[in-house]
């Protein structure tokens, strides 16, 4: 900021403030040079715009020469236009006549221009010795006017008067209108001060010093300090503001920092206080402003500071808070917080659901309302341990609901410490209601018990079945052998005693005995399929089918049978059992194609509802679908033994094997049009 106190350049004067208007009474050219040269030298060196209005004694050319000699780099000042040397006629006179008002305005314009150019102010000197007597009066008025102008602006003026040309009244006039006067006497410069100005000046300098001191507060304040008037013009704007917003002065009240401010001030409901605050965002930074209305000057003062970081931290805190709140509110797990006095300080919705209490009912209450009476002491003891720093890990503490129901809950806890991390201030605990789980576990345990019992029952039944089959296979056949054997003995030994009918009866006894033996064997075979241990492995059904078909071809060399076997049907199954099943299916087909000239037996794969379905299809006698459900029942037959031999155990075996693999078996057919047997394997 340009200094308020300027160097006059003239030793006897020293420093002078802006607004100083003084004069010199000279007699010789040298008198003028003695004062003017250092006067302008100081101005040029201190970034002031200088203007020298010339008249008597010194020509513009002489001045230039003298200045060039005395002031280092004077030509540069000239070139830059910092100093103008103008003859009085050009400045004061227009059409040869003097107009005081016009000159006053011209000075003001010149100052404005100089400030705009970036100069600190305007310093000028004017030789007024040209003044004709008739204009003295109006010029004196100009002097008074200048005083007003200069006093209020950054202007310093030195008016030179020729001592020889001035009458005594004129000298008095001049001295009255200037703060002080310089007079060259015996080559010595003397100063005559106007006491009125002297006092004013001293006071002014003093107050200015104080003002400087005071204004250093806003000036040096790292926060933003501004003053605007009610028209929106910026009256003051401290360094930190200009640094932060270089465009502040240019944009004025339209600056985003000040946007809407005037309107706010106008419409603000001013109560007792004369200030309010607001927050504005500029360039992504957040600023807080305190706005004072200064009634005396009808101005607004703005004290602002950047709170972006604080705001960020606050937002983060808020966000974290929201996050935690959401976490607590939407957590499925019941969560509770209690303070060091065992008072409930937080109770989330899941906890409300667990207990039936509403949060507002229990906040501030002691924890003990949550415990069933008979468990209270034990539970409080557990709570006590958390406050001595212990953490719960799956600690079971039952909870008493508002409706009297008791829930079994597993708890985890953590302590919340103060900032020092030493003092526990609260404990947070999260529960898991395992009541249903315990009930479910009990159910599972019960089911397991039942299953175990059933399994051992099944084992007993299996053992009984085994004993039964053992007995059947050993004991039931012996009487049959007797029946058969002794019938044969009778036929052989006593044939002449027997009639033909008698012999026939004996043969019937024999064939019945044999049939029964067959039935017993079939029954045992079926029960073996049921009892056999299963070992699952990868089984190539196509290979099994191939070997079965080869065996069949060997067994029925006279039959014409075409086998069509799909390749690589690989499944996971018990190889022995599956072989028996395929053998039975193939033999079944062979049997029922016995009466067609060219039998075709096909083993393949198809799909039903996305599941692999295997089939054995033949072009044999087929069957009526009405009896399809009888096909797989043991000892059930659709044909007489005379038509097709057998006891009806083959397909029953197939069904048992497929069922033991978790699959399904079914048959499709039509009388005279063949049959197809389908099966799936889990």
- Residues in contact with other proteins by CB under 8 A are 469-470, 473-475, 477-478, 480-482, 484-489, 510, 513-514, 517, 524, 528
Tell me how far, at minimum, the Cβ of 519 lies from other proteins, in Å. 11
User: DSSP letters of 280-329?
Assistant: EEETTEEEEEEEEEETTTTEEEEEEEE-HHHHHHHHHHHHHHHHHHHHHH
Between CA 577 and CA 243 the distance in angstroms is 95
Q: Please name which of 10, 298, 343 lies closest in space to residue 182, comparing C-alpha atoms.
A: 10
Element (H, E) at 128: none
The number of C-alpha atoms within 13 Å of 197 and in the hemisphere containing its C-beta is: 20
Q: Give the nearer residue to other proteins in terms of CB position, either 192 or 486.
A: 486
Q: How far is the CB of 513 from other proteins (least distance, A)?
A: 6
Q: How far is CA 164 from the centre of its chain?
A: 90
Cβ(35)–Cβ(68) below 8 Å: no
Q: How far is the CB of 501 from other proteins (least distance, A)?
A: 21
Instruction: Please identify, using beta-carbon distances, which residue of 24 and 487 lies nearer to other proteins.
Output: 487
CB nearer to other proteins: pick between 95 and 492: 492
Q: Give alpha helix (H) positions in 129-260.
A: 136-152, 168-177, 195-220, 239-244, 248-251
Beta bridge partners of 158: 22, 125
Q: How far is the CB of 487 from other proteins (least distance, A)?
A: 8
Rounded to the nearest whole angstrom, what is the least distance from the CB of residue 516 to other proteins in the complex? Answer: 8
What angle is formed at CA 166 by the lines to CA 164 and CA 169, rounded to 5 degrees? 145
Q: DSSP per residue over 234-278, as a string?
A: EEEE-HHHHHH-TTHHHHGGGSTTTTTHHHHHHH----S-SEEEE
Q: Which is nearer to other proteins, 217 or 468 (CB)?
A: 468
- Which of 470/556 has CB closer to other proteins? 470
Closest distance to other proteins from the beta carbon of 509 (Å): 12
- Quote the least distance from Cβ 455 to other proteins, whole Å: 22
Residue 661: CB minimum distance to other proteins, A? 21
Within 10 angstroms of residue 334's Cβ, the number of other Cβ atoms is 23
Spatial CA neighbour of 334 closest among 434, 438, 432: 432
Distance between CA atoms of 477 and 483, rounded to whole angstroms? 10
Helices (H), 81-117: 88-92, 100-116
Min CB(406)–other proteins separation in Å:
57
C-alpha to C-alpha distance for 242 and 235, rounded to whole angstroms: 13
Under 8 Å CB-to-CB from 305, ≥6 apart: which residues? Answer: 223, 224, 287, 288
Rounded to the nearest whole angstrom, what is the least distance from the CB of residue 459 to other proteins in the complex?
A: 17
Please report how close the Cβ of residue 515 comes to other proteins at its closest, in angstroms.
10
Look up residue 361 and give its two tokens: 């009912």
* Closer residue to other proteins, CB minimum distance, 11 or 533: 533
Q: Which is nearer to other proteins, 513 or 569 (CB)?
A: 513
- Sign of the Cα torsion 296, 297, 299, 305 reads negative
Name the minimum Å distance from CB 639 to other proteins: 25
Q: What are phi and psi of 638, to 5 degrees?
A: -100, -10
């Amino acid at each position: 900021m340009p200094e308020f106190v300027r160097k006059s350049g003239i030793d006897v004067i020293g420093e002078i403030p802006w607004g100083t208007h003084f004069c010199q009474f000279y007699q010789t050219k040298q008198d003028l040079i003695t004062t003017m040269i250092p006067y302008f030298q100081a101005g040029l060196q201190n970034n002031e715009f200088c203007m020298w209005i010339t008249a008597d004694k010194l020509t513009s050319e002489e001045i230039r020469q003298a200045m060039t000699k005395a002031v280092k780099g004077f030509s540069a000042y000239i070139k830059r236009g910092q100093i103008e040397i103008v003859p009085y006629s050009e400045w004061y006179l227009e059409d040869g006549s003097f107009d005081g008002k016009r000159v006053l305005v011209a000075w003001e314009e010149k100052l404005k221009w100089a400030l705009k150019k970036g100069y600190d102010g305007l310093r000028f000197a004017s030789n007024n010795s040209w003044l004709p007597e008739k204009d003295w009066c109006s010029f004196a008025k100009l002097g008074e006017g200048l005083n007003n102008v200069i006093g209020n602006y950054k202007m310093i003026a030195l008016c030179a008067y020729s001592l020889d040309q001035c009458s005594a009244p004129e000298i008095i006039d001049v001295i009255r209108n200037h703060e002080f006067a310089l007079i060259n006497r015996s080559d010595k410069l003397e100063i005559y001060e106007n006491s009125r100005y002297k006092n004013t000046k001293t006071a002014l300098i003093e107050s200015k010093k104080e003002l400087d001191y005071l204004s250093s507060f806003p000036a040096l304040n790292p926060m933003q300090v501004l003053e605007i008037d009610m028209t929106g013009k910026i009256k003051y704007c401290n360094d930190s503001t200009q640094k932060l917003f270089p465009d502040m002065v240019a944009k004025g009240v339209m600056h985003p920092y000040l946007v809407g401010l005037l309107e706010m001030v106008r419409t603000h409901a001013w109560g007792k206080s004369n200030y309010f605050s607001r927050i504005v965002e500029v360039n992504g930074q957040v600023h807080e402003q305190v706005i004072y209305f200064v009634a005396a000057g009808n101005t607004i003062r703005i004290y602002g500071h950047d709170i972006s970081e604080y705001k960020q931290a606050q937002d983060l805190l808020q966000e974290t808070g929201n996050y935690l709140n959401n976490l607590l509110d939407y957590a499925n797990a019941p969560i509770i917080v209690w303070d060091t006095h065992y008072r409930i300080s937080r109770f989330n919705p899941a906890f409300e659901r667990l207990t039936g209490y509403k949060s507002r009912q229990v906040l501030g209450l002691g924890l003990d309302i949550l415990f069933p009476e008979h468990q209270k002491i034990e539970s409080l003891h557990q709570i006590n341990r958390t406050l001595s720093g212990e953490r719960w890990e799956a600690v079971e503490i039952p909870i008493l609901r508002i409706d009297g129901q008791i829930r079994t809950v597993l708890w985890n806890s953590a302590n919340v410490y103060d900032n020092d991390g030493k003092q526990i201030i609260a404990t947070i605990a999260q529960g898991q209601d395992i009541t249903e789980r315990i009930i479910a576990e009990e159910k599972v345990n019960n089911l397991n018990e039942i299953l175990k019992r059933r399994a051992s029952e099944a084992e007993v039944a299996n053992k009984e079945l085994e004993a039964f089959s053992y007995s059947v296979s050993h004991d039931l056949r012996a009487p049959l052998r007797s029946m058969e054997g002794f019938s044969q003995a009778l036929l052989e030994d006593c044939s002449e005693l027997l009639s033909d009918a008698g012999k026939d009866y004996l043969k019937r006894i024999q064939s019945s005995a044999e049939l029964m033996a067959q039935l017993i064997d079939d029954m045992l075979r079926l029960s073996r399929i049921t009892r056999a241990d299963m070992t699952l492995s990868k089984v190539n059904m196509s290979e099994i089918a191939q070997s079965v078909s080869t065996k069949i071809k060997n067994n029925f060399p006279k039959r014409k049978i075409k086998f069509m076997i799909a390749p690589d049907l690989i499944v996971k199954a018990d190889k022995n059992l599956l072989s028996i099943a395929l053998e039975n299916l193939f033999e079944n087909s062979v049997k029922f194609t016995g009466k067609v000239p060219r039998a075709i037996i096909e083993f393949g794969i198809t799909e039903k509802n996305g599941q692999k379905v295997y089939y054995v299809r033949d072009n044999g006698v087929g069957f009526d679908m009405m009896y399809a459900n009888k096909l797989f029942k043991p000892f059930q037959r659709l044909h007489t033994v005379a038509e097709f031999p057998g006891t009806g155990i083959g397909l029953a075996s197939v069904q048992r094997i497929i069922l033991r693999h978790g699959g399904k078996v079914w048959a499709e057919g039509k009388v005279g049009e063949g049959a197809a047997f389908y099966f799936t394997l889990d």
